[in-house]
Chains A and B, each alone.
Chain A
């Protein structure tokens, strides 16, 4: 453990969040992303740096600390990567014209890299605010002073995006849910919940919610949807195959969207997606773009994922059984890209094959390993 004394408020904030993450006091991708962002904002506004490199190093160190605290919560790393990307972008805009273009000619390897997906370079947003002086020996703070306001703006942009994520995902709901359709969903996903409720404003349709044992998040989901006036059926997981022949669309939430277009999602998602595939029913995933994760599912099985409490599956009331039987309760499923038809994100709808490009556009390659 790095035993840096948590003396400054900033460090304390970082440690505090790391601690909460490790204790799982903050759960849910969006909540963690928001918290991470707030801590990063504090770090940037409080820390002293005199060059771009220093700033990136500081942020990376914080990011690494938080990711190590809870490596399964991918949105932490994603947020850090996104902030780094924005910082670089702002920096490039700010230094345009002053910094010497580092392109030292054209080579074959550069030519090959032309294929790399990149966002079309955005037009410079504002006039460069004075010249940035990096590593100015006379006034080491001048760099930070001149850059910080733009950085804060950039972070505010990310924050706004996070705060409006549900609304933006729900925007296209009427395009995907039509009258008298039967939609199947499972688990408790805030994104899916908002999506379905927003569709209910325009459409009259029915939702089937799988209970999603052993967490039974589906029960809460069903109650929320029913309370919003949607006709809802709560069904046990076992009825999935039988009902699938009557279902028009399967809508799932995601924990993390991976670079190959697959995703991590609550257990039961893979079963539902496979059954849907078998019945040629479309599978649609609703998720904010902060869930885009520059990761590959390295091992195609659950060993790499998370486990939760076995007592949810076989409680201690079954005393005589508990000590004789192994109980398995995986928390996430890995759903292969070929089982998913579309991702509905806060920035448009995408097929699984585009995820790779989106990730390349959203993050910088050098940040994949923080």
Chain B
């Protein structure tokens, strides 16, 4: 598929859907140039080509041709994505356009407004200025789910910012503490255009902003940049790496010989907990529950089954054979009720944690916690304190993110049929026994009383 044909094909389609989109989309009030929606759609079209190089070139010219885009905002954006998915399958631009016409027509008649906010990407303040290549690469990795997971995304973002900061020079007649943030903002906006920002990234960036504005004006620029990078490293180390280690220790104590641990999808913390319990010589088995669209549980299984074999150990003058690998059972979500009866403990990960104790996590987590509660199996949620988010969340439906259909779509488009792949859901605090944080095991209701949770400590 040639890049030019798709993009030309896309423009009329997008404009044809303008009226309905703008009428059915009261949310799309702001009319910033949405170069990113265009560039995103394009990037997907161009997947097979060398994206990074192309995009780097395109970044500038695209800002020029945005004027007619802003009206074709989020809803059409998602329509475009679906359309492009169909295009990839049919390889025919005509079918593509007609499919999209039907799409928009049905959208209008259906008027299912309650889903209209799904797939809305956050829009920043126009992408101007240079986007650092490492941010562009990162944005691609985000949008293709090659870097996925709250911790991984936060670490990757902070690491990329270190490069950005190091490559930054304060323009004349400006100070680093005032200007650096204006330099970082478009970078952040670009990242957000690739995939909505995670709570962890938001918390880390807020900290970074504080640090930048607080940096000493009199310090030589290089020293200030080094200091900032040092602070970033400290943040990653203290709030994520060491926090994870403490969580591992705490959660391991709750795993006993003969336990059956049930977990859902893949959380980096949970994976570490299980592996470290195994290394401590605990004999337990794991039930991994998984579900589309991401099927992340397979990665967890891979990690658990390829756990480095512990070698023969010498204990009281006798050589002990290495323990057998962790016995794992794998099943998809619908089979959960059949397996929950066998579990002794459920350990889950989290995307973010809210002050009412609700856990925002991978879609499906709430179901696992609900079934566990029904069968009185204790539910532990492993979550670093930097994942806490101020504010109360009542419903996983209001704020959510859709998995991009081009990555996870399985069937061709049909009229009247829409495919939604929400990525998150909200587990109510009532179905969580305890949250394992680096400050200890706490009941979900007490989260708001932990000062560290609110990210108010300095880097």
Chain A residues in the interface with B (C-beta under 8 A): 206, 211-214, 216, 219, 222-223, 225-227, 229-243, 245-246, 266-268, 270-271, 274-275, 278, 301-302, 313-314, 318, 320-321, 324-330, 333
Contacts and interface: CB of A to CB of B under 8 A. Distances in A.
A212 B291 CA distance: 10
A333 B330 CA distance: 17
Nearest to A232: B417
Contact of B338 (A214, A223, A230, A328): A328
Contacts of B414: 223, 226-227
A222 B417 contact: yes
Nearest to A267: B334
B370 A324 contact: no
Contacts, number: 172
Interface string B99-125: 000000010001010110000000000
A226 B417 contact: yes
Interface stretch (B273-281, B345-353, B422-430, B435-443): B422-430
Given A213-B334, A313-B332, A326-B328, A238 B417 contact: no
A238 B425 contact: yes
Interface string B412-423: 001111111110
Contacts of A318: 298
Given A226-B414, A226-B417, A231-B416, A271 B363 contact: no
B330 A211 contact: no
Contacts of A211: 292
A354 to B, nearest CB: 25
A238 B302 contact: no
| Interface of B: prevailing SS | mixed
B416 A226 contact: yes
A214 B112 contact: no
A329 B331 contact: yes
Contacts of A226: 414-417
B179 to A, nearest CB: 42
B411 interface: yes
Interface in B282-301: 288, 291-293, 298, 301
Contact of A243 (B298, B335, B362, B422): B422
20 contacts: A214-B334, A216-B410, A235-B419, A235-B421, A237-B332, A238-B367, A239-B364, A240-B367, A242-B363, A242-B424, A246-B114, A267-B334, A274-B370, A275-B370, A301-B338, A321-B301, A325-B301, A327-B331, A329-B335, A333-B338
A326 B362 contact: no
Contact of A237 (B330, B333, B366): B333
Contacts of B333: 213, 237-238, 268, 271
A219 B363 contact: no
Interface in B387-421: 395-397, 400, 410-411, 414-421
Interface residues on B, range: 35 or more
Interface of B: 106, 110, 112, 114-115, 288, 291-293, 298, 301-302, 305-306, 325, 327-339, 341, 362-364, 366-367, 370-371, 374, 395-397, 400, 410-411, 414-422, 424-427
B432 to A, nearest CB: 14
Contacts of B293: 236, 238
B330 A301 contact: no
Nearest to A228: B416
Q: Which of A227, A243, A325 has the most CB of B within 10 A?
A: A325
Contact of A245 (B327, B328, B395): B395
A249 to B, nearest CB: 16
A276 B397 CA distance: 15
